[in-house]
Structure 1
Amino acid sequence: MTYYTSTYQNKLGGIIQGQDMPIKKPVIILVHGIRDHALWQQEIRDALEKDGDFIVEATNYGRFDLLRFLLPISYFRRKAIAEILKQFKTVILNNPGADISVIAHSFGTYIVGHILKENFDLKFNRIILCGSILRYDFPFEQFQSRFTPKILNEVGTRDIWPAMAESVTWGYGSAGTFGFKRPLVYDRWHNKAAHGYFLSASFCRKFWIPFLRDGTIVPDSARPEKPHTLVQLINILRLKYLVPVFAALSVAATPYVEIPDPCPGLPGDIAWIDAGELTQGKFATRSAFVVEGRSAPPETVRRGDWIKLTESRRTMIVDYQKTGTQRAQDSPLSPGGDIDYTCKVLKAGDQFYVAFVDAGNSRSIANRMWLKIRATAPGS
């Protein structure tokens, strides 16, 4: 543990001068992109540790090739997200009480965005995105309590690859090329910057260390240059609509390969979902469901109601010494339960029977509503 001489306020309100008190170093997690062995992580690590006095943790989900990146199949993307989420939890577990910040590049921004969106129990300090392939309308406002605003988005005016990703396949955006231009995010523009422009020690020292220390944003290009004509054409043409033709030709010439079931052992009828965060008995953001059959606010949902989802939700399991149906029927609130999401997604518009409601009793995780739902009513 590092000790610093500091001035701080004690619990009684008095000021104590010059006392030695332990201060945990902030932790920075690095997440790489596709077709990348992430050698840049070592250069950034050295700069952050030597010049910024941070603890730095690299992460790795293997070399993610272009084919898996482009295929609009959630299995490959979910597998990478699950691997990085596991490493995030390891870092947090081994640095209790430390501020955790993230620097993500390219496909790593997609991973970090979805981890942030889907995991209510994770909290981050600063977040830096560069070469981002998130959409401009990624809903940061729905989970802004999970990070310190503003997120810093590095935009390269010559970075063609986010625009290309949005144009040729589904699920990606071009915030790394055109910016988010939304609340909670600061777009910092860099004229003539391409996809890998940001991944150097000199860039890190000038732009990232001040932001990670105290939120200082060092300006770069005050007047962004106009995107190259080719980038604009790629953004307009949406080449993804030619992909089905290419895919059909590829399938015809490729032997059949069975993709493993991404959700083995999950039951089809009963599941738990996290319905959302509550503030003084009301949902903090827009509700994920509406009550069917009676005019009632979603906060008053009760056992025996039918609900319709207004946005997709991933089901949850309790991962302790149980499997399959027995595990999913157990409560997320059980003692010793390690709550985790599954890869099974319930779509907006789906209807479910409510078998149990927990909304802030003494056993529950603070300020959340949990619903145990069924695809069919009991006895039907």
Structure 2
Amino acid sequence: MITNQKHLFNLPDDITYLNCSYMSPMLKSVAQIGVEAIYSKDDPSTNKPEDFFNNTSGLRAQFAQLIDAPSERSCAITPSVSYALANVAKNLKAGKGDNIVIADEQFPSNFYAWDTLSKEKGIALKVVSAPDLTTGRGQKWNELILEAIDSNTKMVATGHVHWADGTKFDLKAIRKRADEVGAILVIDGTQSIGALPFSVKEFRPDAVVAAGYKWMMGPYASGVSYFGEYFQDGSPIENNWMNRLNSEDFGNLINYQEQYQPGSIRYEVGESANFILTPMLTKAIAQVNEWGQENIQDYCREMTTPYINELVNLGVIIEDSSFRGEHLFGLRLPDHMDMEDMKRRFAEQRIFVSIRGNSIRISPNVYNDASDLERLVDTFKVLDHSHA
């Protein structure tokens, strides 16, 4: 079990920040790496050719450890979820008469890629909406997704948890059903990887994409993805010098190569060595690996459980713990509480959360403690009493 880690961050003491799913605060150690990297360009003679590749290899290795991937060469540096999913879309083997299954109200990047593809190729897009239930919602939603997968399904695309309210999807069951019909499984891990244990070996996804600036605690415009066997001979959306074979040999770069780098590196963004962002994300993921994602879940569970029980007693609707993350969960207000009143009170108390649809998204991490949850619950109590 890890203890509170706020001392590793520069979060102000006069705010309650329960919004890691929006953007994580910066670790002091990661900020220091970034500052040093900026000033390193004062003397570019210090950048050696091998640094272009050592930088990227180090980041991929940390990410491979984080998601229990077979090797760092099965991973690729991708600056955004939309970039990584564009590579998936380009290489999906599907056409007219086939379908793609997705959960409803996912983050736009995990909708637009498939919506565009469905229109271009005549692929049906099956969007599975959450059931209108106050209890058993997560379990029923999972059942509906499994029912939507049929013999024409070529891909299932979902998160490990839903980005808006933390509903957890049963990836083992979805993988099993996808196997039965020969469909691939693509996971947007942006709202889970870095806080919720994930194993490529256990869930067997065909692709995993993740932005780095949330739970992996890296800088904005950074991220890493995993591409499995299905994509190993695919065609990337861009052709840059670093994703071609033997690009490490600077003296022979004009001996143009038809072949790509082995593994998933073919899908890597140009200038992936980014001498500022790449070392920062590497340092951030190394810290998350040191903490351990299971420990982060345990920390959040221990911290939030007493206060979640208080909220439930006030009539607040929250998913059962077996179908949500401990690090990310949605609170739905009872009829006697008004969302606009709640938003005003959050602002007055300097409590930072996200409103996503009809859900108040709460996303704590290791820099939070019980006092943050107490302030959150007190805000609900005030509103509850004002309507008594």
Q: TM-score, normalised by structure 2?
A: 0.33
Greater RCO (Cα-Cα under 8 Å, separation 6 or more): 2
The TM-score with structure 1 as length reference comes to 0.33
Larger radius of gyration: 1
